[in-house]
Structure 1
Amino acid sequence: MTSAPGPATPPAAPPDPGALLLTGTVGAGKSTTAQHVGELLAERGVPHAVVDLDELRRSWPAPPGDPFQQDLELENLRAVAAVYRRRGASRLVLAGVLEDRGSRAVYEDAVGVPLTVCRLRLAVPAIRDRLDARHAGYPAVLAWHRHRAGELHAILEDARVEDAVVDVEGLAPAEVAAAVLRAVGWEA
């Protein structure tokens, strides 16, 4: 869940504590971008941790009334974020989905530091192309993700919970990560 080791010496003064949540529809590249953001932070000597929120809620079965297991995700995030902060991570990079403004405050409370949200945006047909490749051979899983992509895209367009948007069309993962850092002011 953390990126590769960075330089031997951290910067003279770590940046102010903060968390970045990369949001977007399924297939937008959140997890891949988070890993690349972590690599860029390591290159700059910024103490950080990368957390894929899907992994914090991956269990089965989901309880009634919480199909995406947000309660489990938040409980685990609170614990994981506290450990990473205690161990010196000044920046937390999260990959997940944030669907509404009310949830934003809950996630900020869970990480215990100011939260910035950046949405990765890609047209639904391009998302579906990515999903076709990712879930080839699993027709039921593919059908669910293809449907969810359009549904979630509409939810995120309406919710506007993000502080910044990065259009990812035609960009390589490292380019998306660099664009995210620029968009949220984490370049230095």
Structure 2
Amino acid sequence: MDEAEILLLAGRAGVGKTTVGWEVSARLRAEAVAHCVIEGDFMGQAHPAPEGDPRRRKIAERNLTALWSNYAELGYRRLIYTQTLSVLAENEGMFRRALGARVRIVRVVLTASDATARERLTGRERGSELEHEVEGSARKARILDERMPLDTVRVATDGRAVVDIARDVASTTGWLPGVSP
């Protein structure tokens, strides 16, 4: 396989992207499917923002390019990438530049109600950021609803076990033996 493949796992804060991403990874590991995982939120974590890059997009792309280069050099061709708005069409260029023009992109958005997101964020956020995270989560859920590409698969997370959610997400990739997307 020369072509790289990327699973973009997106969704509002508190939806479970990281947890589901790791569970998808566990399913792939159990079937000996080579892959790597990158938590996209960490790709631009720099304060203050680099000069000329107020939204930290350039540094995120540079970091993704560097990490993927290391993985690809070792023969990896499949990537699980978790990040809130990663599925948006405006981000496709970054993934094609970082992974190569011949990248197959699978887009999945995890969904959760406002109540579920708040409950999960309350369990996670212990400091001063809770209300900021709750507000940002709702705003980004609206952005995803309005702007996600038509080929994006939605997977509901409310009241569901992580293993069941991950099974549904993994099935969209075609990476598991005997499971077609």
- Give the alignment's TM-score, normalised by structure 1: 0.83
- Ranges in structure 2 where 5+ consecutive residues have no aligned partner: none
Q: Residue 44 of structure 2 contacts residue 56 of structure 2 at CA under 8 Å; is this kept in 1?
A: yes
RMSD: 2.1
Residue in structure 1 matching 2:66, options 79, 86, 105: 79
Quick one: percent identity of the two aligned structures?
Answer: 27
Mark the CA change 1:16 to 1:62 in structure 2 (over 3 Å): closer, same or farther: closer
Q: Which residue of 2 aligns with 1:150?
A: 138
Q: 1:19 offset after TM fit, Å?
A: 0.9
Mark the CA change 1:108 to 1:172 in structure 2 (over 3 Å): closer, same or farther: farther
Q: Residue 108 of structure 1 contacts residue 114 of structure 1 at CA under 8 Å; is this kept in 2?
A: no
Q: Tell me the matched-pair count.
A: 173
Report whether the alignment pairs 1:125 with 2:115.
yes
Q: Which amino acid aligns with 1:105?
A: G
Q: Which residue of 2 aligns with 1:160?
A: 148
Distance 1:81 1:120 in 2: 24
Q: 1:68 offset after TM fit, Å?
A: 4.5
Q: Which residue of 1 aligns with 2:158?
A: 169
Q: 1:105 offset after TM fit, Å?
A: 2.9
Q: Which amino acid aligns with 1:107?
A: F
Mark the CA change 1:73 to 1:172 in structure 2 (over 3 Å): closer, same or farther: same
Residue in structure 1 matching 2:168, options 147, 157, 179: 179
Q: Which residue of 2 aligns with 1:10?
A: none
| 1:174 partner SS | helix
Distance 2:52 2:144 in 1: 21
Distance 1:179 1:15 in 2: 26
Q: Residue 37 of structure 1 contacts residue 181 of structure 1 at CA under 8 Å; is this kept in 2?
A: yes
Distance 1:24 1:68 in 2: 19
Residue deviations 1:135-188 (CA, integer Å, cap 9, x gap): 13x1x3111101101100100000123521111112222221111012343332
Q: Residue 31 of structure 2 contacts residue 176 of structure 2 at CA under 8 Å; is this kept in 1?
A: no
Distance 2:5 2:130 in 1: 35
Q: Residue 17 of structure 1 contacts residue 114 of structure 1 at CA under 8 Å; is this kept in 2?
A: yes
